[in-house]
Structure 1
Amino acid sequence: MPAYLYQIILMGGKDARLAALKTAVAARATDLGIDPRGIVYLDESAFADGYDRKKPAFGIYFGNQNRTVPEPLDRLEQDSIVIAPIVTAKTQVGVEIPDALQHINVVEVGMNGDNIPRLASLVFETFRLLRKDRGIFISYRRKGSQPLANRLYEELDKRGFDVFIDIRSVPPAVDFQAELWHRMSDVDTILLIDTPGFREGRWTKAELAQANLLGIQTLHLLWPGQVEDRNFAFSRYVKLLATDFSGPSPGRGATIKQAVVDSICDLAEELRAEAMALRHAHLVDNFCDAARDLAFEPTVQPERWISVLLQNGSSLAVVPAVGRPTSDRINTIFDAISEHKAADAPIWAIYDSRGLHENWVRHLRWLDGHLPIRTISVADVPDALRGLLT
C-alpha cells in the first residue's frame, strides 16, 4: 500500500502553475504541522497504480487549449472526489475546460500564479484539514482608514471570506461587545489597519488582547510612518508605503493599488493555516494533558483526532473543533470520524468556549441530548473525563 496519507490527482495541461501550487501546498502543510511527504501527486499516467480510494483525494484539472478529457475522470466521479477545474480567466471556460467538467465551478488562476493561495486552501479544506468557513475580522479606526477598510471588505467578500466589520456586521439593538467577542471567537484571522491614533482607540487594546488570548493570527497593516509593537504577539506585519497608494497622500483621498490589495488578501489566506494550527494545538495539548493527569493514554491519530482507550476496553474518539461549533460542522465531524473509529466508540467534539455567547453554549448542551456526538468545552474536559472513571 502507498505510504502517503493524501492524494492530489493532476489532470489536463500542467504548466508553471503546478510548481507554484506544490510550493504553496508544502508550505501550508508545514504550517498545519503535516509532513508534506504525506501528500502525493498522481498524474494521469500514475493514477491506475497509485490511486487509493480509501485515502482522501482531490482532483485538479489544469485548463488547456486541447480540452482533453482526463482518463481518471470516471473513477473520480464514481468515488465522489472533488475536482477543481483551473482556468486562466473565467471567460476562458469554453476554451480551456472540456464539456464533461464545465458544470463545476472553476478556480481562476493566472499564469503569474495569482490565487494560488486560495487553491492551496481548497486542497486542505477538501482534506478536512482546514475548515471551509473562512472568517476574518477587520479592525480599524474610522477616521483616516474607512475607505481602505471598505475596499478590503469588498475584496475579501468577493474571495469568499465571511468578513466581520463593525456596524456592517452587528444588527441594531445588539450588545456590541458581546457580539464582537462571539464573532471573533470564530474567525481565523484579524486584519488590523494600524493608522495614527489607532492604538489609542476605545476598542483596540481589548480586541488585540482577545485575539492574543484565542491565538488568532493578526495581519497587521502598518500605515506609512507607523512602527511595529511587540505587545501584539500574534502579528505578522506588513509595512504599507506611500508608493502603495495612488493619488494624494494616504488618508487624504489616496486609493490603495489593486496589486497591494491582492497581496494583502493572499497573505490573509496563508495566515489561516497558521491560525488553525495554533488553535488546533491548543485544544489537543489541553485535552491530552488533562487525560494523562487522570491516567488515560491519549493517542493523536494521523488524521489529527485523538483516540483514548477506556477502562471497559472500548475507545473514545475526540475531535478538536476550531472555532464556534455549529450543527453542520458537528455533522461534518461525525461523518469524517465515523470511517476511522471503532463502531462502538463515543465521539466528543472539543472546542474553546472563550468569547462565545452563553446562549450558544446552552444550545450546544441541548444538542448533546439529541445527537450521537457530544460537544465539550476544553475547560470542562477534566470533569468529563472523570465521569468516564465512575
Structure 2
Amino acid sequence: MSLYELAILGAATPDDRATLTATIAEMVGEFGLALNDEVIVHDGTSIFGRDKHTAFAAVYFGGTEQTDLEAARELVLSSAPVIPSVGLNADFNSTIPDFLQPANGFVRGTGDPAMSELAAAMLECVGLLRQQRRVFVSYRRVESRAAAVQLHDLLTARGFDVFLDTHDIRPGDPFQDVLWHRLVDSDVMVMLDTPSYFDSRWTRQEIGRARAKEIQVLRVIWPEHKPNKLTDLAETIYLETEDLEGSDGPIRETMAETIVLRVERLRSLSIAARYMSITGKLRADVQKIGASVEAIGAHRAIAVRLLDDRRIWAYPIVGIPTAEVFNDVANKARRADQREIPVVVYDHLGIRDTWVAHLNWLDEHIRAVRAIKVSEAGWTLAAWEG
C-alpha cells in the first residue's frame, strides 16, 4: 500500500522522467521508503488510478506542445498540488496551461542536472520534507565574513531561512540561547573551515552540537588549509585560491552556486537522519514499557499500541514545533480518520526555555493535539490519559 503518490506530467522527456524519478527514489530511500511500494510515481495515464486518500503532489513540465491537460485539470479541480515547471529562459505563459498559471512556477536551472531542487519541492508538498528550509552558517568573522554574508544572501534568495549571527539576533536577546535555538531548527550547517576556525570555542561548540543533533554539515575548506580531523565525516567542498575574490571572500559565482546546490541535496539527507533518530528513540522507549509500534502511516505517523490496548498516532517532528505544526498535524490526523488525539513527538534539546514553556502552554490549552518530548516518551506514555 502506497503512503505517498507523485506524478510527472506534461512535456517531460524520457530522460527528464528518468532523472527526476531516480532522484526521488534516492531521497525517499533515506527515509526507508521504496519506490513502487510506499512511494508511487505516476504518468499522465496511470494518474487517473491514483489513491485520492494518499498524500499526493505533481509536477507539470511546460512545453510548446501541452499534454496531459485532462489529468492536470482534474488535479486542479480536486485541489491537489501541481507545480508548474519550465526550463531556463522558457516563457512561462506560453508553455504552461492557463489553469496552472496561478500557481507559483519552478524554473529548472542547468546547474542542477539531477533535479534535486524540484524533487525536494515535490516531497515538501506531500509532507515528507518539512516546508521550512533552514540553514545555519558557522564561520570566523576575522577570516570569512564576506563569504558568510554572500552565502546568507544567496541562500535567502533561493528560499532558505538562513541564520547568520550578525544578521539574525536582535539587540537585547540572549545571544547563545538564540544561537542554539536556531541551530537545532536548521537542516544543514554550512561550515566555513578557515585556518583559525577551531581556535574559537564557539565555533567548536557549533560544529560539535550540530553533529550531536545529527544535522548534516557542509564543510567549505579554504585554499591551502589542512582541515581538522574532527570534521572528517562532513560533506566537503575544497576551495582553490581562484575561487575567492578576497581573503575572506566573497566566493566566485560558479563555486557559490555549487555550494547552494549541495545544501539543497544535503537537506533531505539531514531531515531523514533526524526523523529516523527520533523514530528510533520513540520505538525503544515504547518497547521499554511493554507497548508496541504497529505500523507507519502517511505523513510519517507512527501507530503505537498502549498497554490498555488503545492505539495512538505519534508524529515525529524534526526541528522546533510551532502552533502551525500543531495545526498541520491535527489536519493530517483528521483526514486520515484517526480516532485518538494525535501526538507530536519532538527533541527538546537546545530549544530555548521560553519556547519549551510555550509548547507546554499549547499542550495544555489546545486539545486537538498533544505533545511529548522524545526523551520522556516511555515515561509519559506509561501514564497516558489521552
Q: TM-score range by the shorter chain?
A: over 0.9
1:91 Cα deviation (Å)? 6.1
Match among 336, 339, 354 for residue 340 of structure 1: 336
1:307-318 → structure 2 map (5 Å cutoff): 307-318=303-314
Determine the C-alpha separation between the residues in 2 that align with 1:306 and 1:223. Answer: 43
Match among 232, 253, 257 for residue 252 of structure 2: 257
8 Å contact 1:244–1:256 — kept in the other structure? Answer: yes
1:43-82 → structure 2 map (5 Å cutoff): 43-48=43-48, 50-68=49-67, 70-82=69-81
Cα distance change on mapping 1:229 and 1:34 into 2, 3 Å: farther
8 Å contact 1:88–1:109 — kept in the other structure? Answer: yes
1:352 Cα deviation (Å)? 0.6
8 Å contact 2:8–2:41 — kept in the other structure? Answer: yes
Determine the C-alpha separation between the residues in 2 that align with 1:313 and 1:346. Answer: 15
1:365 Cα deviation (Å)? 0.9
**Segment drifting more, 26-35 vs 161-170:** 26-35
Aligned-partner residue type, residue 336 of structure 1: K
1:59 Cα deviation (Å)? 1.4
Cα distance change on mapping 1:215 and 1:242 into 2, 3 Å: same
1:113 Cα deviation (Å)? 4.1
Query: Which string of whole-angstrom CA distances, capped at 9 and with x for unpartnered residues, describes residues 224-270 of structure 1?
Result: 1223433236521111122434x5xx517x64222211111111111
Query: Which string of whole-angstrom CA distances, capped at 9 and with x for unpartnered residues, describes residues 71-126 of structure 1?
Result: 11232123211111111236611232122211111100035645822211111111
Determine the C-alpha separation between the residues in 1 that align with 2:174 and 2:40. Answer: 49
Aligned partner of 2:268 in structure 1 is 273
Determine the C-alpha separation between the residues in 2 that align with 1:53 and 1:376. Answer: 31
**Segment drifting more, 6-15 vs 145-154:** 6-15
SS in 2 for 1:313: coil
* Counterpart check, 1:349 vs 2:344: yes
8 Å contact 1:317–1:341 — kept in the other structure? Answer: no
Cα distance change on mapping 1:107 and 1:8 into 2, 3 Å: same
Determine the C-alpha separation between the residues in 2 that align with 1:107 and 1:115. Answer: 15
8 Å contact 2:31–2:276 — kept in the other structure? Answer: no
SS in 2 for 1:369: helix
SS in 1 for 2:136: strand
**Segment drifting more, 182-191 vs 299-308:** 299-308
Aligned partner of 2:9 in structure 1 is 11
Aligned partner of 1:204 in structure 2 is 203
Aligned-partner residue type, residue 230 of structure 1: K
1:43-122 → structure 2 map (5 Å cutoff): 43-48=43-48, 50-68=49-67, 70-89=69-88, 92-110=91-109, 113=112, 116-122=115-121
Determine the C-alpha separation between the residues in 1 that align with 2:27 and 2:68. Answer: 30
Unpaired segments of 5 or more residues in structure 1?
none
Aligned partner of 1:363 in structure 2 is 358
Total equivalences in the alignment: 382
Determine the C-alpha separation between the residues in 1 that align with 2:142 and 2:16. Answer: 41
8 Å contact 2:220–2:237 — kept in the other structure? Answer: yes
Aligned-partner residue type, residue 9 of structure 1: A
Query: Which string of whole-angstrom CA distances, capped at 9 and with x for unpartnered residues, describes residues 363-384 of structure 1?
Result: 1111112221111111221221
Match among 362, 367, 379 for residue 383 of structure 1: 379
Unpaired segments of 5 or more residues in structure 2?
none
Cα distance change on mapping 1:339 and 1:101 into 2, 3 Å: closer
1:198 Cα deviation (Å)? 1.4
1:277 Cα deviation (Å)? 1.6
Cα distance change on mapping 1:329 and 1:115 into 2, 3 Å: farther
1:347 Cα deviation (Å)? 1.9
Determine the C-alpha separation between the residues in 1 that align with 2:141 and 2:337. Answer: 50
8 Å contact 1:90–1:106 — kept in the other structure? Answer: no
Cα distance change on mapping 1:234 and 1:34 into 2, 3 Å: farther
8 Å contact 2:30–2:273 — kept in the other structure? Answer: no
Determine the C-alpha separation between the residues in 1 that align with 2:32 and 2:223. Answer: 35
Instruction: Report the aligned-residue RMSD.
Output: 2.2
Determine the C-alpha separation between the residues in 1 that align with 2:215 and 2:36. Answer: 27
8 Å contact 1:315–1:342 — kept in the other structure? Answer: no
